[in-house]
Chains A and B, each alone.
Chain A
């Protein structure tokens, strides 16, 4: 089990304190835990369960119920592709095909270089700009297959610049 004594562990303890180690606030706790680790590692799930006085099964139950929680690390850039109604009507299937073709990953997968994770979501609330995708915090609207690929290439370049 995680002794959670490193930097991240300290941050996690602060989160647990903030919520009074109350299992009734499990969702909020897990959201902030995920902010710290990028996902929910299994030893951390055990730790949270022990600290909030509940069972690992209960915590796991919550973590797997909600789409926001991830049990595996994600890529540097998380592509959230909208598959809501408006985006569907305006061709989000073709955008998905272009992305999976370009990156060689399917929904839920991460590229080998750890750069991109693709995740289909239901409605980002920008339906009038459909089809829409969000990469990390940035939203891109009125997509076409070509435009989507272009944007991905922009992000690939960004990485090179940093490196």
Chain B
């Protein structure tokens, strides 16, 4: 029997490392069972997960495994009696999270051992590279990608073949192939999962692209906040080098390509391709004016091509299965599958890969299991700081570049954050502007000052100091910034504001005109009151208030001093007589 422990970042955070160690310490003899590591299967809501395999057959998937369960697992495995483990096995309902998905980019995630190249090879790993190097010309590779309809998964959705073709056609014998693994959207983790769980798939996709454009070096720019991804990638690069898959005369084909990675240092704007190139060159990550595009003059001013991690993760599959098989999935304008990081107030959060053309409702309710505590969904945020909030009534929108853009949001890189009725939409807009104004690199005025002005206005609205005309002023600023900003960061920064005004104007108006937050989230607009009729003067609240904002004599109604109150709500949870209310 093979005992496989899921050890991606989220699994480890949930305690998978401890489970693994406990299993290892209980294994008297390595021949008893084989204990293995795998990456992230994407069912983060069930971590830590332990899979029991007989050969390639999954016999049982155990979820929410604790360190203390190790003994039970080891005994059951040794006696080959898995019935004992029934209570820990995944429910059919939860299993449908995975069974409703179609996995291409994530096909090996949570299945193979990411630390072992042979585990990848056993799943047809590096077969596509061999096929490309030995039987296809670069033009044929680009043609196959064109047939597949693969578009960039980093956000903009630009046809991948077109970029490859442009870089191939650029003059110059020194070209670079770059992978954007900066994954800046806060609330998205698809790329992290791919690198942690299937790093060789990324390397293979990149080498195929390098061959297609004629690059002599491939570089991964990976986010600094992903230490485990960096370790796994470094290890995978070393293994591939040792096997002659990276380096000179790869697989005896005559094609040579160096390969390295660079860790970013924490700057959202470095996800923008020209800023990323500046950063690769050791400079401040300030975007360049385009044109020239990277295809003509990128890294070190040489022809370069940049793609996202997930884009590359599809490439080997397309070569192995043919572009047509990929294009058979999806919609007219959006082919293949897309990976989403489903999070927020959803019951089942994790990684979802589905063919384009599915509806948002399907993803959130059928796969994600609906909203926690069965509350009402309010909206879903897609595309992070560059995207927008899509309201409940538009949840039947299909996942397609054009259809999503029509809502004012974007496909984005795959962040999908679900919000329920307790999330304030003005607060959400302020949250993103707080982010973009801090992350603005400062090069252009529209973005540097414009985002700051917007943040000031949003701040005064949520603090109850909003003025008549603030909504119109915000809209005016949004349009000016969209037109005037130098790079995508500024051009898209207004999207969260524009979409929330478009769909939730009433919430803005409630804050400005009535000084009320309908979601009950904006602290400054909350007022805690004690009902003198109900208050028995038990002093419980007064004694426990952390800022001593409540006063009153024993057995007499108490009062809250609003100037001191920090609105922590502690008094309300303590009151036995239901005398404290919030509005």
Q: A residues bordering B, Cβ < 8 Å?
A: 22-28, 30-31, 61-62, 65-69, 82-90, 97, 101, 121-130, 132, 137, 139-141
- The complex places the Cα of A61 from the Cα of B184 at a distance, in Å, of 21
Residues of B within 8 A of A28 (CB): 262-263, 282
| A90 engages B344 (CB within 8 Å) | yes
| A85 engages B415 (CB within 8 Å) | yes
- The complex places the Cα of A16 from the Cα of B343 at a distance, in Å, of 42
CB within 8 Å: A-B pair count: 133
| A24 engages B9 (CB within 8 Å) | no
Q: How many residues of B contact A (CB 8 A)?
A: 54
Residues of B within 8 A of A125 (CB): 9-10, 183, 189, 192, 225-226
Interface segment among B118-126, B171-179, B200-208, B265-273: the answer is B265-273
| A86 engages B10 (CB within 8 Å) | no
CB interface residues, B 402-430, toward A, < 8 Å: 415, 417-419, 423, 428
- The complex places the Cα of A97 from the Cα of B263 at a distance, in Å, of 31
Residues of A within 8 A of B267 (CB): 65-67
Q: Chain B: which residue is nearest A140 at the CB level? A: B13
Partner of A129 from B44, B186, B227, B546 at Cβ < 8 Å: B44
Q: Chain A: which residue is nearest B192 at the CB level? A: A125
Q: Chain A: which residue is nearest B42 at the CB level? A: A128
- The complex places the Cα of A40 from the Cα of B420 at a distance, in Å, of 43
- The complex places the Cα of A147 from the Cα of B185 at a distance, in Å, of 27
Partner of B417 from A24, A26, A86, A124 at Cβ < 8 Å: A86
| B186 engages A141 (CB within 8 Å) | no
Q: How far is the CB of A47 from chain B (nearest CB, A)?
A: 17
* Chain B CB within 10 A, most for which of A28, A85, A126: A85
CB interface residues, B 136-159, toward A, < 8 Å: none
Q: How far is the CB of B219 from chain A (nearest CB, A)?
A: 12
Residues of B within 8 A of A25 (CB): 282
Contact with A along B3-44 (1 / 0, CB 8 A): 000000110111000000000000000000000000000001
| B225 engages A129 (CB within 8 Å) | no
| B189 engages A68 (CB within 8 Å) | no
B199 within 8 A of A: no
Residues of A within 8 A of B197 (CB): none
Contact with A along B273-313 (1 / 0, CB 8 A): 00000010111110000000000000000000000000000
- The complex places the Cα of A101 from the Cα of B568 at a distance, in Å, of 12
- Given known A-B contacts A127-B188, A127-B343, A139 and B12 have beta carbons under 8 A apart: yes
| A62 engages B284 (CB within 8 Å) | yes
- The complex places the Cα of A62 from the Cα of B264 at a distance, in Å, of 12
- The complex places the Cα of A101 from the Cα of B570 at a distance, in Å, of 14
| A128 engages B282 (CB within 8 Å) | no
- The complex places the Cα of A65 from the Cα of B285 at a distance, in Å, of 8
| B189 engages A127 (CB within 8 Å) | yes
| A126 engages B189 (CB within 8 Å) | yes
Q: Chain B: which residue is nearest A145 at the CB level? A: B568
B384 within 8 A of A: yes
Q: How far is the CB of B389 from chain A (nearest CB, A)?
A: 11
Q: How far is the CB of A19 from chain B (nearest CB, A)?
A: 9
| A24 engages B431 (CB within 8 Å) | no
- Given known A-B contacts A86-B417, A89-B344, A123 and B283 have beta carbons under 8 A apart: no
Partner of B186 from A69, A85, A128 at Cβ < 8 Å: A85
- The complex places the Cα of A25 from the Cα of B280 at a distance, in Å, of 8
Partner of A88 from B14, B224, B415, B431 at Cβ < 8 Å: B431
Q: How far is the CB of A27 from chain B (nearest CB, A)?
A: 5
- The complex places the Cα of A114 from the Cα of B332 at a distance, in Å, of 59
Q: How far is the CB of A138 from chain B (nearest CB, A)?
A: 8
Q: How far is the CB of B94 from chain A (nearest CB, A)?
A: 13
Q: Chain B: which residue is nearest A24 at the CB level? A: B282
| B225 engages A123 (CB within 8 Å) | yes
CB interface residues, B 526-582, toward A, < 8 Å: 546, 568
B435 within 8 A of A: yes
Residues of A within 8 A of B423 (CB): 89
Residues of B within 8 A of A123 (CB): 185-189, 225
- Given known A-B contacts A125-B9, A125-B183, A126-B13, A24 and B281 have beta carbons under 8 A apart: yes
- The complex places the Cα of A22 from the Cα of B349 at a distance, in Å, of 44
Sample of 4 more A-B contacts, CB < 8 Å, known A28-B282, A128-B349, A139-B13: A66-B265, A86-B349, A126-B44, A141-B14
- The complex places the Cα of A92 from the Cα of B446 at a distance, in Å, of 30
| A89 engages B345 (CB within 8 Å) | yes
Residues of A within 8 A of B431 (CB): 85, 88
CB interface residues, B 334-386, toward A, < 8 Å: 341-345, 349-350, 381, 384
- The complex places the Cα of A58 from the Cα of B224 at a distance, in Å, of 21
| A137 engages B227 (CB within 8 Å) | yes
Q: 3 closest pairs, A vs B, by CB?
A: A84-B186, A128-B44, A85-B187
- Given known A-B contacts A67-B265, A89-B423, A126-B9, A26 and B186 have beta carbons under 8 A apart: no
Q: How far is the CB of B25 from chain A (nearest CB, A)?
A: 20
Q: How far is the CB of A99 from chain B (nearest CB, A)?
A: 14
| B345 engages A90 (CB within 8 Å) | yes
B45 within 8 A of A: yes
Q: Chain B: which residue is nearest A138 at the CB level? A: B13
| A127 engages B284 (CB within 8 Å) | no
Contact with A along B198-228 (1 / 0, CB 8 A): 0000000000000000000000000011110
Residues of B within 8 A of A31 (CB): 224, 263, 265
Q: How far is the CB of A28 from chain B (nearest CB, A)?
A: 7
- Given known A-B contacts A123-B186, A124-B225, A129-B44, A68 and B343 have beta carbons under 8 A apart: no
- The complex places the Cα of A97 from the Cα of B547 at a distance, in Å, of 14
- Given known A-B contacts A85-B186, A122-B435, A123-B188, A67 and B282 have beta carbons under 8 A apart: no
Q: How far is the CB of B372 from chain A (nearest CB, A)?
A: 9
| A128 engages B45 (CB within 8 Å) | yes
Residues of A within 8 A of B343 (CB): 85-86, 89, 127-128, 130
* Chain B CB within 10 A, most for which of A27, A66, A140: A27
- The complex places the Cα of A41 from the Cα of B504 at a distance, in Å, of 48
- The complex places the Cα of A22 from the Cα of B344 at a distance, in Å, of 44
Q: How far is the CB of B125 from chain A (nearest CB, A)?
A: 24
Residues of B within 8 A of A88 (CB): 428, 431
Task: List 30 A–B pairs whose Cβ atoms lie within 8 Å, in order of A's numbering.
Answer: A24-B282, A26-B283, A27-B282, A31-B224, A65-B284, A66-B267, A67-B265, A67-B266, A68-B266, A69-B265, A85-B343, A86-B186, A86-B187, A86-B343, A86-B349, A88-B428, A89-B417, A89-B419, A89-B423, A97-B568, A121-B266, A122-B435, A123-B189, A125-B183, A125-B189, A125-B225, A127-B187, A127-B341, A128-B341, A139-B13
Q: Chain A: which residue is nearest B46 at the CB level? A: A128
Q: How far is the CB of A117 from chain B (nearest CB, A)?
A: 15
